[in-house]
Structure 1
Amino acid sequence: MRATCRLAPDGDMAVKRTGEEQRGAATASKCEYRLVAKKGEGTFSEVLKAQCIKNSKYVAIKCMKNHFDSLEQVNNLREIQALRRLSPHPNIVKLLEVLYDQPTGRLALVFELMDMNIYELIRGRRHYLGEERVKHYMWQLVKAMDHMHRNGIFHRDIKPENILIMDDCLKLADFGSCRGIYSAPPYTEYISTRWYRAPECLLTDGYYTYKMDMWGVGCVFFEIVSLFPLFPGTNELDQVQKIHNIVGTPPPELLDKMKKLGSHHLDLDFPPKEGSGIEKLIPHAPPDCVELICKLLAYNPDDRCAGRKAGSALRRALALLVSSI
């Protein structure tokens, strides 16, 4: 089906869909959205808050900056394919419809609207979040990761801005960088936001796996607990150094393995260093949280806690917490 989108002079977005070129790009014959505010902007898109005139419900509309030549090209987007494969799931953001205007090549994705992202939740916060709330959020996040990985997709851009919340509900969003787990490396090197980029992404020429997502989960977990980022590197080398300062340098055999996978932009001959440890940075955190964060931030991806194991650990911790109240 073909979608025709226009921005009306009064600030309304009128969306009409006609034709039967291909199913799946739209679901209704006509829909209008009133634009309310701009929520954010990235390299490839901007996100707007809008209200559906028909039912008064608010939505988030992701307007892509790239132009698309055909509906086939739209339906082949990894983000759309991933969301269709992963839905429905309580911890994956829901894609409501796809709006495509073939004459102009414009594309917009309509999502359910959440209250805020994790970055907005902790930004400028003076008091720590409650233990039960933290564990409940992280349990939902690892459930989303487990569902995604079991369905053959890894996200590649886990960070606080891509994790949305509404009251007690958490949902993973922004699948624009995702890839199939069973596709062959090397992958794009400079994927993921630097502060949340796993060591294997930094130290090899694109040889990493879905375990990179779990490193990002560990960084996010730490940040929700501490209210500050764990590895805020200013560049690639500084990022590696900040990791080594806390986690320590990898054992020689792991470093040799990474050297064989190539790194044309960094010297991998690091002087041995024992990291200061994560637990010293979050002395207020319960031991089970610290232990899980450390497992998620294992330098060797083969030793890194996967989604299902992380979820089990959090479930046990949450059960113990609730039973003690």
Structure 2
Amino acid sequence: MSGVRRPAWGVLAAVLAAGATGAAEEAGPVRWDVPAEVLARGGGLPIPVAAARTGSGGVGVFVFEKDAGLVLHLSRDGRAPWKAVFLPEGVAGDACADGDAIECVTTDFAAKTAAFGAWDPARGTTVRRAEIARDLPSTPMFSRLLAEGRDRFVLLVCERGEVFFLKSGDAGATWSAPLQIAQTRHRDDAVAPALFRIGGVLTVFSVDAEDRLRGQSSDDGGGTWTPRDAPDVATKEDGIPRAVGGAGSGPGFTFIVLTDLGRYLPVSGTPAGRTWHAGAALGRTVVDDLAFLFQARSVAGLSAFAWAEPGEARKVPGGIGLHLSRDGGRRWTDTGADAGCA
């Protein structure tokens, strides 16, 4: 990584730059004007935690801010002016774009609930926000959202490690009841398990209570789940799995495993799961500080992985990295430490 130090925004801008359309493959990362509110200051706050860009250029950035809690900053073009939407204190999961709207699942620590929301960056308004889960065994913390057409699939990870699945078939207007499908070891990592939908089959990869990768699939839209093969990536050199992140729609599985030694391992596999490939570490971080600052997404064969590296104080990121893969996660291109930073 270069000696240039960048704010936490960089890791989110990198993911935005990679995009779901493959624009980064042709034109390179996009650069953004960044509102002062989202730059990390003393004590490591504010912290940008999720971001998305619409096809028309609208941008939404979810930021955890001191005193204010979770705030969504909206802009019609990724530049000033930005409009702030104040949300209950909690965590924002993956943010997705649907048409001209930004969608995301957020949690409310005080009410111990989770809600699905949609916002219009061009107008700076809330299109829809509705509670989708309450009365869970422990407080919902982190989430992963996968959107395809009018289908929405969500993983919710609770405070004690319970993993719940929810789905909507009408773009988030109504939702199924939460169904517990896995149990992870309780950690402070703000990373939900990896979620894929390939050929109509939903697949989840998570780290279980014994620190092993666990796979499970559903061919009926999430009503029933069965175990499936998952690769064994633990080695003495790289460490054991601590968190796994990724989301996409194929053609195969591509996700990132963060180990207890702070190494980011790219893992790819075929839909049948008979062939797995674990590549060399793409980066390294301070696990206790920055486990939540990595994202991985795959769409139509293009995969993007972005992460932040620690600064000298080990409290705020010092730089960011962005890798792209165009062959299902087997080979990765380092776009440079400053890619996507404003």
What's the TM-score once normalised by structure 2's chain length? 0.27
Structure with bigger helix share is 1
What's the TM-score once normalised by structure 1's chain length? 0.28
**Greater radius of gyration (CA):** 1
